[in-house]
Amino acid sequence: MSETQKIGLFKYDVKNGLGLVGYNIDDHEFAHIIVDIKKCDECSHMMCVWGCPAQCYNFRDQGLEHMKFQYEDCVECGTCFILCDQGAVSWNHPRGGFGITYSHG
Amino acid sequence: MDEETDFDVIVIGAGFAGAATAFQLLKEGIEGDRILVVDRSDPIGGKNMTGGILWGRELDAFKEYLGNWEMDCPGIERCINHKKVGFLNNEDALFIEGRFASWDGTGGTEEPSQRSAWSVLRAKTDAWMAEKMEEAGIFVMAGVKIDQLNIDGLEHTSYDARDLTDPSKDSGVGKAQKWKVDSLPRDVVDKIRNGTITGIVQGGEVMTCKVVVIAEGSNSILTRAYDFDTMLHAQSKEDMLLGIKEIIHLGKERIDERFNCFPGDEERPPSGMAMELALSLYREMSHEAWEKYPNTKGLYPRCGGFFYTNEETVSCGIIVQLKSLPEGLHTYDLYQAFKAQPAIAALIEGGEAIEYGSHLCPEYGLNRMPHRFTRDGAVVVGDAAGLVFANGMQIQGMNYAIHSGKLAGAAIGNCISRKDVSAKALDATYTKSLKASFIFRDLKRFKSATKFLNHPSNFTWVPELLGKTANRVFREIGEEKIPAEKVMLKTRKELRKINKANKKGMGFFGIMRLGLLTRKL
């Protein structure tokens, strides 16, 4: 048993995981999620950061002062929309044919 | 109602619920070219993600369109005859394992011999179902996302689709959350909430129909925007589970061997294993997180693990109750802990991850169902309506989706032939049959099961106590032998010392209370 396993701390290489999925990324002006990052400054919990399974939200956990959001890696699960109670997330599905495409599901 | 519409029925979403609705409409005598099924994914199925196991033979009702779906559908992977449930802590894994001859469906058993569960991969399944729909003459459009529904007497240009999901400037937090659309003139808002739905709007173009079927799945924007379900935002996290899984390629032979599967022949699909687990893997991770983010101190993530064998791959993943996620823990790291647990690591050894994905699973139960299933000219089916059942022994959603689709199809056929598609008429048929069906009976009977399932003990000390006790009872390392009961009491005492959460939950009354809750499973 390796050292990390013994103390029970685990890190998933999420970027590698996301690399296994196909995307058809839409232009910026059609981004399906829009985050009002000014509102994030006052957020005390950053639940979007912890909840998002695709690491689309990067904030104080990465040593950043302001929220940095990118929609490109989004797996369209809707977690951030549910977890954000600051009214900062405007969530919609990407335009037809855009976004993630699973080949297995 | 009398004026000509582009279609009789438009179904939004080509998942199981949407497809079942469309097939049922055909059976009701609606012409295929009067049914339109749209899906935002191109190719169809590309957005769909499940654990997942399809329970029950609901698809048999559509044999005339699907043929021998069990053998022919490429996404129906293995027939489950081997089920495991268990408890996992960082070191120990304790399973209850069942292999059931009657689940093979080959006859000669005392129990009813029937194949009734399959591991499925939805991308392939849904693409195949869409093909079958087209073969049956139904219009299917891929890559079409519906922004708005068309409402009688309201120009769709009078509000922006984005306003439906955009928080307004003066939006409060939590329950006081307001959307941009709420600040529009009163009559517009009233129309959006209660007007008669007469079609869909896509890219500024209106397509009219008599009934719209919303089968968007668990992440349904339309049910929220058009006021079926007011809960799909901040406060609904209570009953939302986030599923995260990887598809890991092992190869067919290795899976057959490793899980003792029947390899399949011309009449029978290969057999497979389904496993669901209560996880207590996160003590150290949580403690580390609490140190950095003391806001959620004392909160352990409540996670369940699942593991299903597909034909060439395995589906390995976890579901997290979003409400229980402490600050400082990434959901994907929770998955890694599951994957690295020695018992799971052994099962996927030598495999290669070929897909990563994630999906929400609504587990509203009866408390948080949409407050209505119909509107004038529209119904909601499947996951979008929150029709998912979980009691710890079984997790079912896809068969509920198919069944609700059937009921909706039958009801809509009936209503169209009577030329009355008002909410009242649809309620009297669809909602009524839904509430009389096994879906609602199950949900009612197991209403209190969530109390047990959400109980923190099941994700902290229960897996630890059971795993450790089994370990100590079965081993021989030169210790004094003592009865199993004593071992358990001793283990309990040790675990209680570890932290407060355990101390509180593991008292005599705590254990009694937990025991009493299991009666309802």
One-letter amino acid for residue A81 of the chain = F
User: A 7-36 residues with CB below 8 A of B?
Assistant: 7-12, 14, 17-18, 20-21, 34, 36
Residues of B in contact with A96 (CB under 8 A): 40, 42, 143-145, 202
Query: A93 in a domain, yes or no?
Result: yes
> What's B223's domain CATH number?
3.50.50.60
Please give the residue of chain B at the shortest CA–CA distance from A83. Answer: B234
Clarify whether residues B287 and B405 are in a common domain. Answer: no
**Residues B238-281 pLDDT 10s:** 778 899 999 999 999 999 999 999 999 999 999 999 999 999 99
Range A47-74 average pLDDT = 94
Clarify whether residues B71 and B203 are in a common domain. Answer: yes
- The pair of structure tokens assigned to A93 is 């599905």
| Domain count for chain B | 3
Backbone phi, then psi, for B170, in 5-degree steps?
-95, 25
**Residues A40-49 pLDDT 10s:** 999 999 999 9
Contact B147, B222 (CB under 8 A): no
Q: What does each of the 521 residues of chain B score in pLDDT, given as a tens digit? A: 446 899 999 999 999 999 999 999 999 999 999 999 999 999 999 999 988 899 999 999 999 999 999 999 999 999 999 999 999 999 999 999 999 999 999 999 999 999 999 999 999 999 999 999 999 999 999 999 998 999 999 999 999 888 888 888 776 665 567 788 888 899 999 999 999 999 999 888 999 999 999 999 988 889 888 888 765 554 566 778 899 999 999 999 999 999 999 999 999 999 999 999 999 999 999 999 999 999 999 899 999 999 999 999 999 999 999 889 999 999 999 999 999 999 999 999 999 999 999 998 887 777 778 889 999 999 999 988 888 887 766 778 899 999 999 999 999 999 999 999 999 999 999 999 999 999 999 989 888 887 888 888 889 899 999 999 999 999 999 988 899 999 999 999 998 888 776 777 788 888 888 888 888 77
Q: Nearest CA to CA, how far is B241 from chain A (Å)?
A: 9
Query: B378 in a domain, yes or no?
Result: yes
Q: What pTM does this model have?
A: 0.93
pLDDT of residue B234: 45
One-letter amino acid for residue B342 of the chain = P
Collapse the DSSP code of A29 into the 3-class scheme (helix H, G, I; strand E, B; otherwise coil) and give the result: helix
Backbone phi, then psi, for A70, in 5-degree steps?
-135, 130
pLDDT of residue B176: 63
ipTM score of the complex?
Answer: 0.94
Query: A2 in a domain, yes or no?
Result: no
Residue where a domain stops, chosen among B338, B362, B386:
B362
Residue where a domain stops, chosen among B362, B382, B398:
B362
In which domain, by residue range, is B328 found?
237-362
Query: B217 in a domain, yes or no?
Result: yes
> What's A60's domain CATH number?
3.30.70.20
> What's B305's domain CATH number?
3.30.9.90
Collapse the DSSP code of A72 into the 3-class scheme (helix H, G, I; strand E, B; otherwise coil) and give the result: coil
Contact B392, B449 (CB under 8 A): yes
Residues of A in contact with B357 (CB under 8 A): 21, 75, 100, 102, 105
**Is residue A64 less than 8 Å (CB to CB) from chain B?**
no
Q: Whose CA is closest to A74, among A93, A47, A95, A59?
A: A93
Residue where a domain stops, chosen among B333, B362, B391:
B362
Query: B475 in a domain, yes or no?
Result: yes
Beta-carbon count within 10 A of B1 CB: 12
**Residues B148-181 pLDDT 10s:** 999 999 999 999 888 888 888 776 665 567 788 8
pLDDT of residue B236: 63
Clarify whether residues B358 and B372 are in a common domain. Answer: no
Q: Nearest CA to CA, how far is A62 from chain B (Å)?
A: 11
Is A51–B242 a contact, with Cβ atoms under 8 angstroms apart?
yes
Query: B158 in a domain, yes or no?
Result: no
Minimal Cβ distance to A96: which of B144, B162, B246? B144
Query: B349 in a domain, yes or no?
Result: yes
| Domain count for chain A | 1
> Would you give the distance in Å from CA B197 to the centre of its chain?
27
**Residues A66-99 pLDDT 10s:** 999 999 999 999 999 888 888 889 999 999 999 9
Clarify whether residues B358 and B374 are in a common domain. Answer: no
Clarify whether residues B509 and B389 are in a common domain. Answer: no
One-letter amino acid for residue A100 of the chain = I
Residues of B in contact with A47 (CB under 8 A): 325, 327
Q: Whose CA is closest to B233, among A38, A84, A47, A34?
A: A84
Clarify whether residues B53 and B133 are in a common domain. Answer: yes
Query: B259 in a domain, yes or no?
Result: yes
Residues of B in contact with A9 (CB under 8 A): 284-285, 288
Clarify whether residues B227 and B337 are in a common domain. Answer: no
**Is residue B350 less than 8 Å (CB to CB) from chain A?**
no
Clarify whether residues B298 and B401 are in a common domain. Answer: no
In which domain, by residue range, is A50 found?
12-101
Annotate B207-241 with b (16+ C-beta within 10 A) or e (fewer): bbbbbbbbbbbbbbbbbbbbebbebbbbebbbbbb
User: In whole angstroms, how far apart are CA B309 and each of B98, B121, B387, B402, B415?
Assistant: 15, 11, 25, 23, 42
Q: Whose CA is closest to B356, among B268, B245, B463?
A: B245
Clarify whether residues B226 and B131 are in a common domain. Answer: yes
- Read off the pLDDT band of A25 (50, 70, 90): very high
Minimal Cβ distance to A90: which of B142, B165, B173? B165
pLDDT of residue B506: 81
Clarify whether residues B504 and B390 are in a common domain. Answer: no
Residues of B in contact with A12 (CB under 8 A): 330, 332-333, 335-336, 339
- Read off the pLDDT band of A1 (50, 70, 90): very low
Clarify whether residues B58 and B20 are in a common domain. Answer: yes
Clarify whether residues B42 and B125 are in a common domain. Answer: yes
Collapse the DSSP code of B276 into the 3-class scheme (helix H, G, I; strand E, B; otherwise coil) and give the result: strand
Is B329–A50 a contact, with Cβ atoms under 8 angstroms apart?
yes
Query: B88 in a domain, yes or no?
Result: no
